Each structure stands twice: as structure tokens, then as C-alpha cells.
Amino acid sequence: MTTRPVGVFDSGIGGLSVLQALRADLPHQSFVYVADSGHSPYGERDPSHVIARARALTRYLREAHDIQTLVVACNTATAAAIHLLREENADLPIVGLEPALKPAALASQTHRVGVLATRGTLQSAKFQALHQSLTEQADFVLRACDGLADAIEHQDLPRIEALAREHVTALGSCGAAKDQIDTVVLGCTHYPLILPTLQALLGPEVTLVESGAPVARQTRRMLPQAAETGEPRVLWYTTGDAGELQTAVQRWLQPQARVETLRI
């Protein structure tokens, strides 16, 4: 008997940072990854666009791949749509991502935490409720990183450098001294893909917090069918440029990947 795959989607290549953690935690599990690059970036679009895309991708993953669990590997899509996806797919376990404010507040010694995320995530009711619930625990400095996910999506190195510098600078003073930001949350799944760039800009004393590993653990706990031993498979799809996803997969995850283009 083959185990049903886990479906994973993001607006583009950002979800690869989550898939990496999922594969490390669930080495025998098969996955289907969809990059919605033809409809990205999500973070600066109207939430109705993100909701429509999340619904279409979920339907596709269920109908074409009979997934046993869905991981919404995108903070922006989780914030806009996860409550609807759960309502409409009550029989499907769905794991989402949200910026790791709580672990960051616990880790911070200075009680000042920077949050880098998309405009859509920061403006969502879900994020605002999370932020409000933690204001006693730390001072959060929020930064909507316009353009950064898109630059990462297209691997545009000069634009990545310029935007990363602009957004990190806007956080203010970072370091381990009193009143400095000593912990920064990567609240968009694209950002861990440029971790060395961000760390270099923020300095060695700043701790970066992302959500990949905790989401992988949560997915393992929620899986209805435990993965068997055997050769797992990953199927790769994109609604955008197959070459871009292929290059990204080969760079971050595995040497060979066959990417198919989807029209959904």
C-alpha cells in the first residue's frame, strides 16, 4: 500500500524552506509541491485574490493527488484563507504558518523583537490578534518588506541585496545591547532562503527565528497515515516558469527535479 502524499503550496519558491524541514522530519513521506508563481506575489495583493488562489490550489491537490494532509507553506495565505480552507475541507488536516512571535519573545533578552513579513500578513486580522496577545511580553517592531519576496522569487540578486538592506535598516538598531532588537522573526517563507544575507545585515548577535521546524513537527503529529519506510517521491508543479522552480529546487533541495507547469 502506498501512503497518500502531503500537499504543500506557497505563492512560489518560499515554501521550499518549509518543505526542507518537512523532509528532514518525515524522511519516508511523499509530497506534492505547488508553487503558485504565476499568481505571485501574494503579499501585496488583495486578500480576495489570495483566498481564491488558496481555494483553487487546495481543490487541485485534493482532486488530482488525493493528499492526506495540506501544509499551507505561506504566512500570507494562512492569514487570509486558512479559516475558510478548514471550514470547506473539514475532513482534511490543514497545517498553516504564522510568524513565530511567541518563540521570538521567549528567546529575546532585550525584549525587543523585529518582525519581517509581507504587508498582507501584517495587515491581517489573524496577525493583529496574535500581536495584541503578546504585547506584554516584548516590543515588536513590524516591517512590511514590500518587493522582497518577489525579488527572491526571481532570484534577482541586486534587488534582493538592496531591498534586504532597506528593510533591515528600517527596523532600527539591532544587536545584543539594552534597547536593541536582538531577535528577528522571518515571517515570510521566502526569507529563510536568503538567511546569510539577512544575518550579515543584522549582525552576528541577532537571532533569526523561522517556522519551518515547528511546522514540520506539527505536521508529523497530525498525519492520519504514518509514512512507511521506502523511497519517498516529491512531485513538483508550478503555475509560473518551470525553469525558475527547477533552479530553486536544485539549489536548495536536490540535484534533479522534473517540474510540470499547471494551468489552474
Residue numbers at the binding site for ligand DGL (CB under 6 A): 10-11, 14, 40-43, 74-76, 118, 121, 149, 188-190
Which pairing describes strands 112-117 and 183-186: parallel, antiparallel, or unpaired? parallel
Instruction: Check if 145 is active-site.
Output: no
Closer to ligand DGL by Cβ: residue 5 or 99: 99
Nearest of 160, 190, 212 to residue 36 by alpha carbon = 190
Q: What is the identity of the amino acid at 231?
A: E
> CA triplet 24, 27, 32: central angle to 5 degrees?
95
Of 156 and 176, the one with the shorter C-beta distance to ligand DGL is: 156
Q: Could you please report the per-residue DSSP string of 116-151?
A: EE-HHHHHSHHHHHHHHHTTTT-EEEEEE-TTHHHH
> 35 or 138, CB closer to ligand DGL?
35
CB of 74 to ligand DGL, least distance (A): 4
CA gap 239, 184 in Å, rounded: 31
Q: Distance of alpha carbon 190 from its chain centroid, rounded?
A: 6
Of 54, 79, 186, 188, catalytic: 188
Task: Please identify, using beta-carbon distances, which residue of 100 and 206 lies nearer to ligand DGL.
Answer: 100
Q: Is 50 helix (H, G, I), strand (E, B) or coil?
A: helix
**Closer by beta carbon to ligand DGL, 82 or else 188:** 188
The type of residue at 212 is G
| Residue whose CB is nearest to ligand DGL in the complex, by number | 43
Q: Apex CA 154: angle with CA 150 and CA 156, to 5°?
A: 95
Contact 36, 10 (CB under 8 A): yes
Q: Closest separation between CB of residue 181 and ligand DGL, Å?
A: 21
Q: Do residues 67 and 89 make contact, with C-beta atoms less than 8 angstroms apart?
A: no
Cβ 243 to ligand DGL shortest distance, Å: 19
Query: Do the strands 69-72 and 31-35 form a parallel or antiparallel pair, or are they unpaired?
Result: unpaired
Least separation in angstroms between residue 105's CB and ligand DGL is 20
CB of 40 to ligand DGL, least distance (A): 4
Catalytic residue among 8, 18, 61, 74: 74
Are 70 and 82 contacting, i.e. CB atoms less than 8 angstroms apart? no
Provide the annotated active-site residues.
74, 188
